[in-house]
Chains A and B, each alone.
Chain A
């Protein structure tokens, strides 16, 4: 996407108009604030509770990034294992597929029993939701190698490790990043859902608190913060991808959604 004046100005004007319309309509129809507060209330809530919001956002951030990091390390390692080991492919992979078919957020209550009330059960759920897109995309990237390249390696007596390091791994990077982009956003969702189930800190917990006290403005502010958080993580990955795998644009992107 190019950042021309038109590209920036158009959505900006649209959003301002939307906010204005929101403010006017809420006033006009006398919508109660606990149903839909005017945007001005959101701003007030944000500034008044800034410190609390920041504190809880940090908790959710750590949970999401922690879960994501874990899923990245284990996901890539597992993908490599599946590609190289027929045994792993025949034994653990089907198990993983069954696990995938389960709604991961439904594990949240169990995680509380297994891991406890604190940070780690949230990291575990964030990990669970982020794990699959990384595994599936990385497996595809490691496998989708032109067979002629493998011939070339064999003719020149390249070792299996050389093929991995010089061909398969770099080849998988664009795919891996496609998976990472899905995973990092999902990990935020995972952390929030886990907080809904049982927590005493984090933005998910805060949304519930706001709901109990019918503080709709605060709940909406938190949603916006979550959007901002996910977007920031996504853009961070995008920047990293351009640095580490600039050839990704040449690869047909499969935005994996496994």
Chain B
């Protein structure tokens, strides 16, 4: 099997720069959903670390608990057992230094673009004027200058998702949790937004946890790709992606990129029990 060859093994060793402090520490997290009807074992002894400024992707088949894991990290959902800490503090309530982007833009239909971006500021009862300035500059950053007073239904899907990205960034959170944010977009718009996200990440150096089922997207964006098994979700492998930054679309056709995607695909296929089964899409 490809990923058991010595060369491949070397690739999987993730070497952390000791000067970069640890930000998110996930240890032995287990999640079981119990209802009257059935018990679902969602996450199985998940452990990994994320350092400050890292771009980490979680890849796995649908229903492997990726989104559940994000919720646990953000403190919106308690783990059944195990420990999650952020900045050395155990997470036991919703974190206030995270921004969230979901698969659908979930914008308020009755608010303008700028109003939607300002929603977290309103909830957090922060002083508005400085953040209004920030919201405008974020919108400028994603190419939505001049759209501030428009309503969500007047925008395309890609533009709506850009607004939701601005909304996640407006309070300047340390961590960005992204749950298949571009999964519902067409391939071209997704590429565009991937590049934009990297540009923003380069400039602001947020720590990003990015859930996707798109292998190429994960490799293209990340420093580390965490490959997860089907339910109950386990970590199969933490794969360090050694590609130069800033990343460019041309890299996708380079040899190393292909090796990474093939490797991940093989891991996913063997973990699902059906060799060669198409797990996730790579378009």
Check A156–B124 contact: CB distance below 8 A: yes
Chain B residues positioned under 8 Å from A251 (CB to CB): 109
Check A151–B123 contact: CB distance below 8 A: no
Q: How far is the CB of B121 from chain A (nearest CB, A)?
A: 8
A149 within 8 A of B: yes
Kindly specify which of A82-90, A102-110, A162-170 makes contact with the partner chain.
A162-170
Q: How far is the CB of B207 from chain A (nearest CB, A)?
A: 15
Check B106–A152 contact: CB distance below 8 A: yes
Contacts known (A148-B104, A166-B119, A250-B153); A158 close to B124, Cβ less than 8 A: yes
Check A158–B123 contact: CB distance below 8 A: yes
Contacts known (A162-B123, A166-B122); A155 close to B100, Cβ less than 8 A: yes
| 69-123 of chain B: CB within 8 A of chain A | 71, 74, 76, 94-96, 98, 100, 102, 104, 106, 108-110, 119-123
| 137-194 of chain A: CB within 8 A of chain B | 146, 148-149, 151-158, 162, 166-167, 170, 173
Chain A residues positioned under 8 Å from B102 (CB to CB): 148
In the complex, what distance in Å separates the CA atom of A152 from the CA atom of B124? 10
Check B110–A245 contact: CB distance below 8 A: yes
Number of contact residues on A: which range applies? 20 to 34
B151 within 8 A of A: yes
Check B122–A170 contact: CB distance below 8 A: no
Contacts known (A156-B123, A156-B171); A146 close to B94, Cβ less than 8 A: no
Check B123–A247 contact: CB distance below 8 A: no
Number of contact residues on B: which range applies? 20 to 34
Check A154–B108 contact: CB distance below 8 A: no
Of A153, A154, A155, which is in contact with the most chain B CB atoms at under 10 Å from its CB?
A155
Chain A residues positioned under 8 Å from B98 (CB to CB): 155
Q: How far is the CB of B96 from chain A (nearest CB, A)?
A: 6
Chain A residues positioned under 8 Å from B95 (CB to CB): 155
Partner of A152, one of B104, B120, B153: B120
Partner of B110, one of A157, A158, A247: A247
For B141-157 the 0/1 string (1 means CB < 8 A from A) is 00000000001010000
Partner of A155, one of B94, B104, B109, B151: B94
Q: How far is the CB of B142 from chain A (nearest CB, A)?
A: 18
Check B94–A157 contact: CB distance below 8 A: yes
Check B109–A250 contact: CB distance below 8 A: yes
| 242-258 of chain A: CB within 8 A of chain B | 245, 247, 250-251
Chain A residues positioned under 8 Å from B167 (CB to CB): 152
| 147-186 of chain B: CB within 8 A of chain A | 151, 153, 167, 171
Residue in chain B with minimal CB distance to A251:
B109
Residue in chain B with minimal CB distance to A247:
B109
In the complex, what distance in Å separates the CA atom of A173 from the CA atom of B153? 17
Q: How far is the CB of B122 from chain A (nearest CB, A)?
A: 7
Check B94–A152 contact: CB distance below 8 A: no
Chain B residues positioned under 8 Å from A158 (CB to CB): 122-124
Check A153–B109 contact: CB distance below 8 A: no
Q: How far is the CB of B144 from chain A (nearest CB, A)?
A: 19
Q: How far is the CB of A77 from chain B (nearest CB, A)?
A: 22
In the complex, what distance in Å separates the CA atom of A162 from the CA atom of B124? 10
Check B94–A247 contact: CB distance below 8 A: no
Check A157–B124 contact: CB distance below 8 A: yes
In the complex, what distance in Å separates the CA atom of A155 from the CA atom of B121? 11
Of B95, B98, B110, B121, which is in contact with the most chain A CB atoms at under 10 Å from its CB?
B110
Chain B residues positioned under 8 Å from A148 (CB to CB): 100, 102, 104, 106
Of B123, B153, B167, which is in contact with the most chain A CB atoms at under 10 Å from its CB?
B123
Q: How far is the CB of B168 from chain A (nearest CB, A)?
A: 9
Partner of B100, one of A152, A157, A162, A250: A152
Check A152–B109 contact: CB distance below 8 A: no
In the complex, what distance in Å separates the CA atom of A154 from the CA atom of B76? 8
Chain A residues positioned under 8 Å from B122 (CB to CB): 158, 162, 166
In the complex, what distance in Å separates the CA atom of A190 from the CA atom of B46? 62
Check B151–A153 contact: CB distance below 8 A: no
- Given contacts A166-B123, A250-B153, 15 further A-B pairs with CB under 8 A are A146-B106, A148-B100, A148-B104, A151-B71, A151-B74, A155-B98, A155-B120, A156-B96, A156-B120, A156-B124, A167-B108, A170-B110, A247-B109, A247-B153, A251-B109
20 sampled A-B residue pairs with Cβ under 8 A: A148-B102, A149-B106, A149-B108, A151-B71, A151-B76, A151-B100, A152-B123, A153-B123, A154-B76, A156-B123, A156-B171, A157-B96, A157-B123, A158-B122, A166-B108, A166-B119, A167-B108, A170-B110, A247-B151, A247-B153
Chain A residues with a Cβ under 8 A of chain B: 146, 148-149, 151-158, 162, 166-167, 170, 173, 245, 247, 250-251
